[in-house]
Structure 1
Amino acid sequence: MQATDIFPKTIQSLPTLRRGSQGKTVKNLQERLNILGSRLVVDGFFGPATEAAVKYYQKDNGLLVDGIVGPQTWNLLLKSTTVPFEVLQTLPVLSFGSTGDNVIRLQNRLNDFGASLVVDGIFGSKTLAAVKNFQHRYSLAADGIVGPLTWNALLHEFF
């Protein structure tokens, strides 16, 4: 996989986001900020909490602290979070009882990390145990729920 498959063709192709912005790109921003430790509601609305998280990220990374997500902030944010831009928009939160292709993807990825799961697309007790073990091993909350933080860790070495 090439770098052009991972990131948008240019950082400039991403819209500048600020308070009041809405939509899928804001959700993606919120998911990335959550991967880095924020606790935002991923609602696609760039409100005061998202602005505060952006400012914290900018300050923490030596950027101009203006709460606006432009090319410099996008560039560092995309490098800091390893899941490709489009992938985060397509990965659902998975938990005990989930089924389907994304569970198959999860089970295959867990097997890449040493789990010995039957890949059947059913998030049962063995998949739950493997997820909790993976989360514990990578210092994540071992709650058995596969959300953005766990997906990021699972997919990190793949991309």
Structure 2
Amino acid sequence: MKNTKHLLIVASIAAGITLVGQSVHAQQVTTTKISKVTTYNYNEYSTVTVKLNDKSDIVKHIQGTLNLYFGSGLAEDGVYGKFTEDAVKSVQKKLGVNVDGIFGPETAKVLLKYVNNTSVDDKNGFSPVSVNIQEQLVSLGYNLNANGNLSSYDTILAIKQFQKANNLPVTGKADMKLLNKLSKEDKIKPVSDTDYYISVNSSDHLCRIYQKINGKWKEIKCFDILSGKVNKGEYASGLHGKEIKFNKVTMKNFTQIDGLHVFYSSEKELGYGLRISDESAKFLSRIPYKTAIKVF
């Protein structure tokens, strides 16, 4: 039940960004926050061609990518209108492909390569999202001045440290891999009575364990939720135990979430919380009492 990961993606921020010094169309929408990252799956859409007056989700992703990387100022409405066509032509010219305003496999391929190798602030645009990236790094414990300049020495150093800590390519650039990781981190706001934090994603059926190391939260383990359900909310870990029986079925290495709801391992679903593998259950049973648990 693990997340499936796209092999090749062009990612976009879900609201448009306009860089300083760039022209702005009347349909532009601006933001100052990194939103949920949407993806363009090149493997899936590499044979798809979109052109003037087409309407689809892929058009939204194209518009978002052009806004983020080229300051196109497009409304991300999924409609391939005249403004989108003109923006595609401008990008095609910049990237050295046939300038026809049609987004086909050739344009998708060169745009993918550009996105994977370019910072969102490659020309020091000082866009609102640049400040948000810096503020997110500050909130994670990195020391830098959130002035919007992603090319500043302290920001590059912080980005490199974050990339190294999260097993990302250490480039010092605010690339798409960095934004994807920050987007995930933005969902997690660790506040715990211990140096550990447990996060349960109900949609992805994943549990992530974070540990505060040298003042910074770092993900130390991720594992599947095999079955079960707990209401969304915030809890604190309670009793631990090596073994207990419910309805004649053995529950091993349980950790209390709330009331009768626990993390546990067993041969089958018992209906008392979240069933996980025995290895993961043993790991959780060693987490300190009163560790914060967030189910979302």
In the alignment, the residues of structure 2 paired with residue 11 and residue 76 of structure 1 have an alpha-carbon distance, to the nearest angstrom, of: 16
1:6 and 2:11 correspond: no
Out of 18, 29, 47, the residue aligned to residue 81 of structure 2 is: 47
Q: What is the match of residue 65 of structure 2?
A: 32
* Shift in alpha-carbon separation, 1:13–1:6, aligned structure 2, 3 A: closer
Q: Does the CA contact (< 8 Å) of 2:8 and 2:43 recur in 1?
A: no
Offset from partner CA, 1:44-96 (integer Å, 9 cap, x none): 1100000000111111122111111111000111222249xxxxxxxxxx9xx
2:48: which partner in 1? Answer: 15
Residue 137 of structure 1: CA displacement? 2.8
- Summarize the alignment of residues 21-100 of structure 1 with structure 2, pairs less than 5 Å apart: 21-37=54-70, 38-82=72-116
Residue of structure 1 equivalent to 2:16: none
**In the alignment, which residue of structure 1 is the partner of 2:291?**
none
Q: 1:9 to 1:22 in 2, by over 3 A?
A: closer
- In structure 2, the residue matched to 1:148 is none
Equivalent residue, structure 2, for 1:123 = none
Q: Is the 8 A contact 2:50 2:104 kept in 1?
A: yes
Tell me if structure 2 keeps the 8 A contact 1:51–1:67: yes
Residues 4-40 of structure 1: CA deviation (Å, up to 9, x unaligned): 5333362654521100111210000001111222111
Q: Identify, as 1 or 2, the structure richer in helix.
A: 1
* Inter-partner Cα distance in structure 1 for 2:64 and 2:147: 20
Normalising by structure 2, we get a TM-score of 0.31
Higher RCO, 1 vs 2 (CA within 8 Å, ≥6 residues apart)? 1
What's the % identity of the aligned pairs?
A: 32
Question: Cα RMSD between the aligned structures?
Answer: 4.0
Q: In terms of Rg, which structure is larger?
A: 2
1:89 aligns with: none
Give unpaired runs (5+ residues) of structure 2.
10-40, 118-128, 153-172, 181-296
> Taking structure 1 as reference, are residues 32 and 9 closer, same or farther at Cα in structure 2, changes over 3 Å only?
closer
Do 2:116 and 2:175's aligned partners in 1 also have CA atoms closer than 8 Å? no
Q: Does the alignment pair 1:153 with 2:155?
A: no
**Scaled by the length of structure 1, what TM-score is found?**
0.53
Q: Kindly provide the amino acid, as one letter, of the partner of residue 77 in structure 2.
A: D
Count matched residues: 112
Check the 8 A contact 1:32/1:77 in 2, yes or no: no
Q: Which runs of 5+ in 1 are unaligned?
A: 84-93, 95-105, 119-129, 140-151
